[in-house]
Structure formats: structure tokens, C-alpha cells
Structure 1
Amino acid sequence: MDILLMFGDDVTVLSANRVAEHLNVARSTAYRYLQSLTSTGFLEENEGGSGFRLGPRILDLARLARKGIGLSDLARPVMRELVRETGFPALLTRRAGASVVCLEREEAGQTLRLSYERGQVLPINAGAAALALLAWAPVEVVEEVLRQPLVRFTDATNTDPERLRDRLPQIRDQGYVISRGELDPDVLGVAAPVFGADGGLVAAVSIAALSHRVTDAQAVATAEVVMRAARELGAQVARLEVATI
């Protein structure tokens, strides 16, 4: 590990002499260490034996480290900034079959009772976050949802399959969802989709607020901020996906 930590932006090749001096060991001992790292793929010997550079096993570990960074880890800073800009609680949700799972919830210092808590699983037919996930879901998922009885949460919940089917293209066209009281009474939701490197849907970012405090014009303005946050998270996800290929 000490040898590997000797590498840096200005040190891309190590010699046995340099390692011996750094570790205060004999050159033969340093060379044995280097050969051990080479045999396991952590180092490669330069052509002509002029020194040792990092090997392919390091790239494998870097890939695994990047893969270990979860969506929630990427989303939290974006969600905190979204809360700062809007003043509203932010949510990160993901589709799981015909359901929605709340992965993260970032509070905004205000008390707001919501159905979405971390780990909460809800049907996908009601609320801004759910509809954002449904609008960009595969056709077979949409049809599966619409074949089932749609759950009613409030008087504003859309339980008509045809009306819901007609709404999805409109959501895709505008790029966001605004819902009022469809999942929680008196709660406004604004959500936008998060896409990965291949353009596939990854998650949805949303905010929630007391509906009577937000006008239609304010909701549309908030949607612009939510979409920007979703694009930022999508860009981070895409960079991570490309890096792990």
C-alpha cells in the first residue's frame, strides 16, 4: 500500500531505487515488493525494465469504487441545493415494477405531512413523482398499471385509465409534472425525470409544498428549478455509468 500511494500526478513511474529509498529497505527487498505487486496486476513493468507503472488491477478497483457510489450519494447534494433554491422539501424516488420507492427525502425546515418517507413503497398512479416515473416507463409497465384497479388516495386522484393514459404524453412533452392533492390532500408536487447515459429513466426528483401557498405561475417556475436539478443529477449518473464501462 505504501508503494501504491507513492504514485501521483507527477509520479507515474517508480524505480526499485526510489522505492527502496522511500521505504528505507534494501534495493533487493524493494524489487521483491514490486515484483509481488506486478504478479497480482497492481503494477506493470515498463518495456526495457526502466520502472513500474500502475497496472490493470488498479483500474478494476477504481471501477468497483465508482460502482459502489449509490444514486442516493449522488443525489443528496443536488437535493440540498434544490431545497435551498425552492424552500421546499425534496424527494428522490425510483420505480420498482408497478410501484414507486422513496429513496431519499431532504427536509426544508418546515412540517409537511407526506406519504413519501424513506423506504416507502406506493402505487405509481398518483402524485407528481409517481407520474413522472410512469410517463417514461416502458409501454408494458404502463399497460400493466392501467389494467389494474387504480388506487384512490384523495378526491383529486385520477383513477380513470383512459384519462391517465392521455395525460402521460402531455407530461413527456412538457418534461415535468405538477400535481395538486392527488396523493396527499392540500399538497402540491412538482417532479422531473432523471435520465442516465443511455437516455433511460433512472429516477425522479421532486419537491412538495402546501398547495394553497403556491400559485400556478409559481409552480411552473418551480418546475424549471426541479428540471435543472434532475438534469444535474442525470449528468452525474451518466458520468458514473460511463466511468464504470
Structure 2
Amino acid sequence: MDHSNHNDYVLSSVKNALRILNSFSLDEPEKKVTDLAKSLGLGKSTVSRLLSTLASEGFVTKDHETQKYRLGLSILNLNTIVTSNLEVERESLPVLHKLVDDIQETCHIAVLDGTDVIYIKKVECKHPIQILTHIGRRNPAYCTSSGRVLLAYQDEQVVRRILGGELKAYTTKTNTDPETILNLIKKAREQGYTVSVEELREGVTSISAPIRDYTNQVVNTLTVIGPTHRMNPANLKGYIHKIISAANEISVRLGYRKRH
């Protein structure tokens, strides 16, 4: 099988696996291999193979008495993530607007995905700069303030695995030493925020604080990104206080209650 044919085969398999998942409904929550094969126009062996793969990843589960398949817990996990992100976007918006009006810098909500952070919400100030933070943008976690805050609440084994990969220097100020970054991550958890100065892009500074949900888990960060000449050491303390306060307000809106 040549490379192009292999790619077509893989894409076809992915598409058919998604068709299988989409075939389940409230009216038909369980289906047999023969039912799926007939309704989707696929061979029984193809459906059986795809179901086995989906089952191995927890996307479907099989009832061995009825020989029927139903959606698995991995679908629920994905739904929880999507629902959580939608709720964060909704609850954070008024707080973001208020903070932008106050400090006149662009604010973001970010989430951790693997080794990267993804920006899922953004409210720009009146004088934004061209920075790499559009919605949906991925940036490396190790050299961004949002990433280091989110990594601060992951298991250390997860963090070390991420830091064991390639750590690219984007500027002369990018920290690429794993132990140095690990210490910065630990410090972020201790102080409840972190600052990244020109590590991803020259002339750009970011400050991030954690956002918690009703389960007390850190699910997102509130991140303010702006030019270093405006976010300078002289006014950094004021920025930090307001960002932490806004992140706490969003957390409360998500149902977080501080535990004593």
C-alpha cells in the first residue's frame, strides 16, 4: 500500500468510526454490529473492527449478554470538557469586559490541552498589539504564563513528561532548562499567579491566575497579555492584584467556594 492509499484508508476509517458514534441516539442507544453494518452500508467485519478500536479507547462499551454496543464514558468526558468550556466562556465574559475597561489590556481565557494551551475566549482592549493569541491558537505551555499556571495543578509526572520533550527557545529570554521551568511552575502554585516576560515573543508580557470550578479543580486561567513597556515592573503589582481578583470572581461564578 503506497503512502497516498494508506492516508485515504486511515481517513476513511476515521470517518466511518465517527459515523458509528453519530448513529447512536436517545431512540436507539444500543445497537448490534449487524444493525450498524446495515444502516451505514458497511461490512460487518469493518464495523466490528472499528467498534473494537472504539471500545479500547472507552468510546463505546459492549453488553456481552445482548451483544449490543452503547456509547462509553469517554464520550461523557468529552461532553464535560465542552460543557465546562461553554460555561466558562459565558460566566467569564462580564468579568473580562470589566477588567479590560479597568486595566486597558487584552484578556484571555485559556485551557490546557496536552503540551499546549489553547485560548478559548478573548476580549481586546482599545489599543491591542499583534500577538499570537487568537481564539483557538495553541501556544506551548512551558514558556507561557497561562501554561505554567495550568501545569502547576497537574501531577508532577505529567509535568516532567512534558518538560522531557523539545523545549524550543522562541526568544533570548525563553526558559528551556527543565528544572528551572519546574521551579517556576511550583512557584506559580505557591503564589497563585505567574508572569512571563518576553519568553514567547519579544516585547510581550503576560500574567495569569488560576480559575477553579465548583469541584475546586483548576480548569482554566485568566491571562492578561500586553506590551512590556506598558506592563512594566513599576505597575506590575497592581496588574497582578486585579487579575487574581477577577480570576477569583470567575471561579465563584462557576460555583467555586473556598474551603477552609
- Normalised TM-score (structure 2): 0.63
Residues 165 and 69 of structure 1, relative CA distance in 2, 3 Å threshold? closer
Q: Distance in 2 between matches of 1:169 and 1:111?
A: 31
* 4+ long deviations beyond 4 Å: 66-69
Task: Say which of 169, 178, 185 aligns to 1:152.
Answer: 169
1:87 to 94, 98, 104: 104
Correspondence 1:133 to 2:150: yes
CA RMSD of aligned residues (A): 2.0
What amino acid maps onto 1:206 in structure 2?
Answer: T
Q: Does 1:115 align with 2:121?
A: no
- C-alpha separation between the residues in 2 aligned to 1:127 and 1:216? 18
Give unpaired runs (5+ residues) of structure 1.
1-65, 240-245
**In the alignment, which of 198, 204, 211 is matched to residue 187 of structure 1?**
204
Distance (whole Å) between structure 1 residues aligned to residue 254 and residue 158 of structure 2: 23
Unaligned stretches of 5+ residues in structure 2? 1-82
Aligned to 1:40: none
Return 131-140 or 84-93, whichever deviates more.
Answer: 131-140
The residue correspondences of 1:159-238 to structure 2 (distance < 5 A) are 159-238=176-255
Identical positions, percent: 23
Deviation at 1:197? 1.9
Q: CA deviation at 1:111?
A: 3.0
**Higher mean Cα deviation, 89-98 or 66-75?**
66-75
- Deviation, 1:68, is 9.5
Q: Which amino acid aligns with 1:99?
A: D
Per the alignment, in what secondary structure is the counterpart of residue 212 of structure 1?
Answer: coil
Secondary structure of 1:70's aligned partner: helix
Amino acid at match of 1:235: V
Aligned residue for 1:238, secondary structure, equals coil
* Matched residues, number: 175
Partners of 1:234 and 1:151 in 2: CA distance: 33
- SS at 1:216 equivalent: coil
Deviations 1:106-150 (A, max 9, x none): 000113111111001122111211211122223232112111111
Tell me, in whole angstroms, the C-alpha distance in 2 between the residues paired with 1:216 and 1:210.
12
Task: Please give the TM-score of this superposition, normalised by the length of structure 1.
Answer: 0.67
Which structure has the larger Rg over C-alpha atoms? 1
Structure 1 pair 204/68, CA: closer, same or farther in 2 (3 Å)? closer
Give the distance between the partners of 2:184 and 2:177, measured in 1 at CA: 11
Within 2, Cα distance between the matches of 1:67 and 1:203? 10
What is the Cα deviation at residue 73 of structure 1? 1.2
Counterpart of 1:131 in 2: which secondary structure? helix
Deviation at 1:67, TM superposition (A): 7.5
- Structure 1 80/146 Cα, relative in aligned 2: closer, same or farther at 3 Å? same
Confirm whether residue 74 of structure 1 aligns to residue 97 of structure 2: no
Deviations 1:139-189 (A, max 9, x none): 232112111111222111111001111122211121111111011210111
Q: Secondary structure at the match of 2:229?
A: helix
Alignment correspondent of 2:160: 143
